[in-house]
Amino acid sequence: MKINTKTTLYTHEGAKAKHINIKQQLERSVLSCLLWENTFYESGESIADRIMQLADQCESDFVADLAIKARTSYKLRHAPLLLLLALIKKGGNIVSKTIESVINRPDEMTELLALYWKDGKKPISKQMKIGLGNAFLKFSEYQLAKWNRPGDIKLRDVMFLVHPKPPKDKEELFKRVAQDCLETPNTWESRMAAGGNKKEVFTDLLQSNKLGYMALLRNLRGMLECGVDERLIKSAIGRPSKTVLPFRFISAAKHAPRLERELEAALHSLCNELPKLHGQTTLLVDTSISMNNRVSGKSELTRLDSACGLAILLSYMCTNLRVICFSNKVTEAPPRLGFALSDLIKSHERSGTYLGNAVKAVDQHVNYDRLIVITDEQSHDPVPDPKGKGYMINVASYENGVGYGAWTHIDGFSESVINFIIEIEKQ
């Protein structure tokens, strides 16, 4: 039997995929990954297994940097924890520093332990203890109480396990953690769980400016239904947080269309603070059926929603922009900003992914300084090189893709992918 043969890779829709190195494969699988969530073509379990296998083959420094980037720049929560598991397995002083950097919410400490003990309890290393202990010291009583959620592992269990040494000003706080008597945080969840009236709870939190922006967006419909003063709601929407991903505004408008004007104005104010991409930009947006796959089982958001969020960002950032949608057909969208652009993109046909045909059409008929493609890269047909600068933004975690070689390949669906383009073009 002949063994020395060349392996040919394909996308799930049949086009030849590009061969990429182990590090690129790991980035591809991680930076668009909501861990354990099934996708259109692959199960969440298979993606998680692939991440661990690839991380085992990469140097510790690379895995550590990717875990930190995934958590801080790309705002992912569980995929970075899986990378921490791979790093813990490798060992070394880098483990504790990376755990401390990656953990940004108290419940991530309990989640990390739950993942570590998924197949049965086992001892934890000194470096893991140091990392968790240092992470524990980062949080206030409000944060610890807010995220001290019910579960097999609680924050007091973490504390007893790793024995963080508190500074003098936190000694009493650590005693309250040990006694499980933290002061109840003033959040909408805790007050509702205590039997609070929804209208009164949200009115009080809005008036005192104590409702987080993500909580605001997630509860718009409920607040309207229970009769909260719309003036209060609109005022809060007008104070947007820079940490909120752009497609969250699309989701909020879907659930509370009455507030679409205020939501769009908030998104507009955030986008206007972003740097500009000068010259002629052509944007290709994939509207194929697989892009309609939800980003998670509990979410109504789709890969196409995330693509629309990025398209909206680009509509504000690009001084000259042409937007073209593709599936089986290639159609140019009229120039629009904000939610109107999202509506146009979603009105395009949803069928197969003929990315190669779309790139050929653009290269033949459109002059551009840069071509940006937002897609899950699962093309039916071979994809040619761009005739100029070409960026392939991958918003899924599938194993193989086509946007390498002459393309600058970028994974993820946060505004960081656009910032990456800006930084590249400064060089």
Q: What is the pLDDT of residue 228?
A: 96
Last residue of some domain: 110, 143, 178?
178
pLDDT digits (tens, 9 = 90+) for 343-397: 999 999 888 889 999 999 999 999 999 999 999 888 889 899 999 899 999 888 7
Q: In whole angstroms, what is the distance from residue 279 CA to residue 293 CA?
A: 33
Are 306 and 411 within one domain? yes
Greatest alpha-carbon span in the chain: 75
Are 422 and 291 within one domain? yes
Is 15 a domain residue? no
Mean pLDDT for the stretch of residues 166-171: 90
Tokens 């390949």 correspond to 409
Q: In whole angstroms, what is the distance from residue 24 CA to residue 11 CA?
A: 16
Last residue of some domain: 233, 260, 287?
260
**Beta strands 389-394 and 408-411, pairing class:** parallel
- Token pair recorded at residue 400: 């193989």
CA-wise closest residue to 391 among 412, 195, 382: 412
Say whether pLDDT at 38 is over 70: no
Is 185 a domain residue? no
Are 288 and 401 within one domain? yes
Is 46 a domain residue? no
Is 324 a domain residue? yes
Determine what percent of the chain is predicted with pLDDT higher than 70.
92
Are 365 and 245 within one domain? no
Is 269 a domain residue? no
pTM of the model: 0.79
Last residue of some domain: 121, 149, 178?
178
Half-sphere exposure of 36 (CA within 13 A, CB side): 7
Are 281 and 386 within one domain? yes
Whichever domain contains 302, its CATH number is 3.40.50.410
Q: What is the pLDDT of residue 69?
A: 93
Q: What is the pLDDT of residue 42?
A: 65
Are 174 and 289 within one domain? no
pLDDT digits (tens, 9 = 90+) for 204-252: 999 999 999 999 999 999 999 999 999 999 999 999 887 777 778 988 9
Is 202 a domain residue? yes
Mean pLDDT lowest among 70-74, 140-144, 335-339, 397-401: 397-401
Give the residue numbers spanning the domain of 106: 59-178
**Beta strands 318-326 and 330-333, pairing class:** antiparallel
CA-wise closest residue to 164 among 196, 137, 141: 137
Q: What is the pLDDT of residue 9?
A: 67
Q: In whole angstroms, what is the distance from residue 167 CA to residue 22 CA?
A: 43
Q: Is 227 left (phi over 0), alpha (psi -120 to 50) or beta?
A: left
Rounded to the nearest 10 degrees, how much is the dihedral formed by the CA atoms of 337, 330, 371, 355? 130
Are 83 and 160 within one domain? yes
Say whether pLDDT at 13 is over 70: no
Q: How many domains does the chain have?
A: 3
Is 54 a domain residue? no
Are 208 and 299 within one domain? no
Are 221 and 106 within one domain? no
Helix axes 303-317, 247-255, angle to 10 degrees: 110
HEC states along 127-163?
HHHHHHHHHHCCCCHHHHHHCCCCCCCCHHHHHHHHC
- Token pair recorded at residue 380: 């039916």
Q: What is the pLDDT of residue 115?
A: 93
Is 23 a domain residue? no
Beta strand residue intervals within 125-276, DSSP E: none
Beta strand residue intervals within 268-317, DSSP E: 277-286
CA-wise closest residue to 363 among 381, 392, 382, 386: 386
Q: What is the pLDDT of residue 423?
A: 83
Are 332 and 374 within one domain? yes
Say whether pLDDT at 10 is over 50: yes
Q: In whole angstroms, what is the distance from residue 161 CA to residue 156 CA?
A: 8
- Token pair recorded at residue 82: 């899986």
Are 336 and 417 within one domain? yes
Are 78 and 109 within one domain? yes
| CA distance to 87, 309, 427, per residue, from 31 (Å) | 17, 16, 23
- Token pair recorded at residue 289: 């059926």
> What band does 298 get if pLDDT is binned at 50, 70 and 90?
low
